[in-house]
Amino acid sequence: MRFDIITIFPEFFDGPLDYGIVRRARESDLVQVCVQDLREFTHDRHHTVDDRPFGGGEGMVLKPEPLFEAVEGLLGKKLGDAENREPMNNHAIVLLSAAGTLFQQEAARRLAQLDRIILICGRYEGVDERVAEHLATDELSIGNYVLTGGELPAALIVDAVTRLLPGALGNEQSVVHESFSEPPDPGTVQVKKGAIQVAGLRKKLTIRSGQTFIESLDFSRGLLDYPHYTRPPDYRGWTVPEVLLSGNHEDIRRWRRKKALEKTLRNRPDLLAATSPAGAGDVHDTDV
């Protein structure tokens, strides 16, 4: 797989891509990461990449011309023309923007199936909307907050996608048994009278919602990871759960699944796609 990162600060990536899994993947030629200086695609002596927004307002906006030329130069063809634009089944052009769709694990899995990803790092007040409408295939955000630029999100996406590629991790099962990877066992969840009950748990999770009661839950985005423990088995009086020391692999598997489901319901109710327009509401522990 090849990543192309378009930025006005190419030196930013001298560090983040030189460690851990991404470094090993680059050294083994599993991935290629090429950083492109956007200013090289300008034609004035000041290498201008931004200008004032039409209609007034604060800040500066990245111009469309250098971004289109950068991407078209990388791909070796003209883009953005509706009549001539060809589908790119194995490529993605990703604009990183606070206004984009939230980047989640399913997006990382989708991108990991491609041959090439071009990442456009936004800056200043924003990017000319024609880039989002006529150049980018995806507009992604890494969270509901504003950063000074798209460089950190670009590095994050390179890491999240690279680790999903076959051969990137020492143990291929690592991407199976981790957060957002597996749905719960069928039949373990029941929703009754405003509470989510999980089979085998001694607590129920009550849902406070002033709107419509949740009618169904969709765990297709996977669970959070289960709790992990290591030596010593007793630290300051805090002990490792006995089931993990039992040697009974089936009991351990069931315990881990239950704890993963419990943590997902408590800590990330946003992962539960509900039919209610009010969403999952607030989730709280209550003794059964």
In this structure, are residues 240 and 232 in contact, taking their beta carbons and an 8 Å threshold?
A: no
Residue pLDDT, tens place only, 19-50: 999 999 999 999 999 999 999 999 999 999 99
Domain 2-175: assigned CATH number: 3.40.1280.10
Q: Where are the domains of the chain?
A: 2-175, 189-287
Q: How confident is the model at residue 225 (pLDDT cuts 50, 70, 90)?
A: confident
The larger pLDDT score, comparing residue 64 to residue 271, is at 64
Least confident of 126-135, 204-213, 254-263: 204-213
Can you tell me the distance from the alpha carbon of 91 to that of 72, in angstroms, rounded to the nearest whole number?
A: 13
Can you tell me the distance from the alpha carbon of 198 to that of 193, in angstroms, rounded to the nearest whole number?
A: 14
**pLDDT at residue 87 is higher than 70:** no
Amino acid at 147: L
Asked, as a colleague might, if the bond just before 16 is cis with ω within 30 of 0, I would say no
Q: Which long-range contacts (CB under 8 A, 24 or more apart) does 164-172 make?
A: 164/108, 164/109, 164/112, 165/1, 165/25, 165/30, 165/31, 165/112, 167/25, 167/28, 167/30, 168/21, 168/24, 168/25, 168/30, 168/31, 169/21
pTM over 0.75: no
The two domains 2-175 and 189-287 share their CATH topology (first three levels equal): no
- Taking residues 93-120, report their average pLDDT: 95
Structural element, H or E, at residue 42: none
Residue pLDDT, tens place only, 233-273: 998 998 999 999 999 999 999 998 888 888 877 777 666 54
| Residue partners of 230: CB distance under 8 A and separation at least 6 | none
Can you tell me the distance from the alpha carbon of 128 to that of 66, in angstroms, rounded to the nearest whole number?
A: 11
Fold of 189-287: Trp Operon Repressor; Chain A (1.10.1270)
